[in-house]
Each structure stands twice: as C-alpha cells, then as structure tokens.
Amino acid sequence: MDSMRKQFDQDLLLDGRYQTLSPLNHGSFGMVFLAKNVKTGATVAIKCITKESGSDTCPTAMAVDDRSEELEIHSHLGSHPNIVSLLDTFETEHHTYLVIEFCPNGDLYEAIRLNRGPLETEHVRDFMMQLISAVEFMHAKGVYHRDIKPENIFLTQSGSMKLGDFGLATRDKWSTEYAVGSDRYMAPEQFQETSYTQGYSPATADVWAIGICLLNVLFSRNPFATPTQSDPIFDDFVMDRQSLFDVFPTMSQDTFNVLMHCLAIDPAKRSLAAVRTALRSVVSFTTDDDAMDDFCMEDRDPVRATLNREPLRTPSITSPTIDNGGCFPWAKALRETSQKHGRQLSVIPDNESYTEDLFPEEKETTGKSWFTSTDPDSTSLNSTVESSLGMSYKSANNSAELIGHAFSRPVPISSSVPIKSSRALASVYGNMDENFSKSWSDLWEEDEEE
C-alpha cells in the first residue's frame, strides 16, 4: 500500500491478521479505516500514519515528525474507560499503524450533525462528566490533549464517550507552540504571545475546549470563529461575559455558570474541579423544555465521517450595511423578523372624531418629523429584534436632521425593551468591509423558518 491517503484497498491483509474493511476517516496525518482481526474476529479501527521516509511516495500526506508523540502517549496513558485504547501497533517501510478500539457510533460531530447527540439534561450532564473524567485522568498522567473537539470524541454503542486522537498532544506543562489545535476550540492564549507571559499552559487550554464542546452539544454551534479581537463576538465577550446570552438566548443561567469556569479569559481561573461542581448543580441546561433524544439508544450501522467536514457553524451574523445617510436599515431587519404571536389587544374601531390636532402645523413647517427628538445628541433607541441576524442591536446616535423624509408607519415588535443594552451590539459598528460567512449548518435554521 504505497499511500493510504491516495486510496483505500479493501480486503488487504495487514501484518498477517488485520483485514481491511472500509474507510472511516482521514486527516492530515493519514487515514483511519475499519478492519477485522481474522484470528480473533474482533472489529478494530486502524490509524495509518505516514512516516517521514514515506512522505516522498505520498506527498499529499503530512509526515510524522519529532513532535508527534501519539504512540508514546498511548503507551504512557494506559487504560481508562473514557479514552480510546491502543490495542496493537506495527510498522511498514513507509507507514506506522496504530490498532485502536473501534467506537461504532462514530464521533460527536456526526452525532450532532444527524441530531443524535445528547439533549436530555441527565444525558448531557453524564456526557460532560465523562469528558471531564477523561481529561482529569490525562492531566494526572502529565498528558495534555490540545485538540479536544467533537471530531475527536467517539461514541460507543452503550452511549459512553471516549476521547481519542492524540496527534497534537504534549507532555510539556508549559508550551510555546502557538496555533496548535483547531481554531474554534483553541484558547485565546494559544494564538499569540501576550504582553504579560510567554507561552501558555496546555492544561488550561484543554479546559477552555471543554466549554466550547458543551455549547456544541447544546446548540450545535460554536460561539467564536477564533477567540481573538478580530472576531467581534469574542471581542464583545471579553468586554461583557453576559453577551453569550445574545448568541445563545435559550442558554440557562446554570449553563452560564459552568461556562464561566471553562471560558475564563484568565487561564488561572479555569478549573476542572469547579466545572465538575457546577455541572452537578445544573437543573436545566436551556430554558426550553427538556427535549427527548435517542442518544445511542438503538443499534445502527457503523457511523463513518463525512467527506470534507466543515467546523460546526459560528453565529451567522452578516455585518449590516449602513446606507449613505449613516442609518441602520431597520425596515429590512424588521421584514426579516419572525414575529412571535403575542397577546391580542382589544380592537378599537377607528370611527371616532378628535377635536385636538395631533400634528400641529407649526411642526410640519419645520421640516422635522413629529417624533424627531429636540436633543438629538442625547437620544438613543433600544429595540430587541429577534431577526435572522441572530442578535440585538442598538441604534447609533444620529445628529443629522431628518428633512423631508417620508417615514413609514412604526412596525410593532413582539418583545420587550431591554433595560440595559447588550455589549454584543458593538459588533454592528465594526469595519464596514468585514464579512461573515455562513457554513453548511446554517441551512438548518433556514429550513425551520420556512
């Protein structure tokens, strides 16, 4: 087999006992495929990793280098019920093969994509407790994963989870290797050196990733594209942690309390023990009714990874286009709003006469609208619009006089006026050339709206 990245050869006998059955997944370091031990009849997963000497024969694969400690780490960790076990290993001239435990229900990413992830409160709690148990065990052994994400969390037939793929793991308690991991799950300090420290703790970076995974499980989405100031949602989060409620409006206060121990900006304030304690106190993870799920409750064919997998989506925010007058397009936003059915008020027939003139002529002659403020520099408009933009916005102070402009009738908004505007509104007035893209799973919400 010259290159496992180029093709998969079925029914090939490896090491005299492993018969290849079908591909399961592939990545930058090689391929994972399903195989059968012809001597025992056991079904296993085999990870094929390209050696440095084999990179010439397989140029599309990234070769294992000196920093990859996957085999050594598996051997060092030993056995744990929530960590994928290494069963065997063998080598050829160009490849290293890791024979690992097979998890027939695939990974958490596919479970979320197929709406088969944990949803019930107790299922979510138990799932997250297992993940914490796996990470605590690793850290006690001096191993730090650095790539905890749904794609690396595997599901067994019984519903338990197992953390796997230690290709980026390290045994260094302090690391200066920046940008190692997956963008949406990396902690802020993993992206760049800060002014007050050099390097970061891989242990606290793992705790951050656990918090992101919890949001993935509950809402099938990521809060940030990257935890850097270039992401306006993260920038708002740094200024006001409560802005997470704008991104996830059905998130419960209990969930927020858990996340504050995971997503602390200061790494020293992240704590696995505190996360565990907060999880035990959760009454409900969302404000919605507790949804029933079929999480690993029935026999299914082995779940394989889909090709060209994109990350779980981030908040789908399109930067609103400000018109030439500097005004936010409220009319367009309201047209896109899915209005809730509120309390129906009594109908008042419009057949009464009024003696008072509601719109005196002297105001009409001024060229100003009847609802233009007398002190434009001190006014602000706060409205909650549950629109397809997915967030609330605060209008900008506009000191320009509105002359000769025909205003439409005010449109009723079926929500209350917030007492305090959200910090998340700051994202509206960022750079006008910032673009935010949709990912494949944004189509889910569009289908629901239809």
The three-class DSSP label of residue 99 is: strand
Contact 191, 178 (CB under 8 A): yes
How far apart CA 108 and CA 111 sit, in angstroms, is 5
How far apart CA 422 and CA 243 sit, in angstroms, is 6
Task: Report the first-to-last Cα separation within the chain, whole angstroms.
Answer: 49
Candidate list 147, 165, 231, 246, residue with the active-site label: 147
And the tokens for 79? 């056995």
Q: Which amino acid is at 319?
A: S
Residues in a beta bridge with 48 = 31, 97
How far apart CA 55 and CA 431 sit, in angstroms, is 43
And the tokens for 116? 């088969």
And the tokens for 194? 């800060």
How far apart CA 135 and CA 82 sit, in angstroms, is 9
**If 0-12 CB within 10 Å is exposed, 13-18 middle and 19+ buried, where does residue 159 land?**
middle
CA distances from 89 to 15, 63, 94, 103, 374 (A): 10, 17, 14, 18, 78
The three-class DSSP label of residue 98 is: strand
| Strands 30-37 and 18-27, bridge-based pairing | antiparallel
Q: Which amino acid is at 241?
A: R
Active site residue 147: yes
How far apart CA 275 and CA 289 sit, in angstroms, is 24
Of residues 79, 209, 69, 75, the one with CA closest to residue 151? 209
How far apart CA 378 and CA 303 sit, in angstroms, is 59
Q: Which amino acid is at 143?
A: V
Active site residues: 147
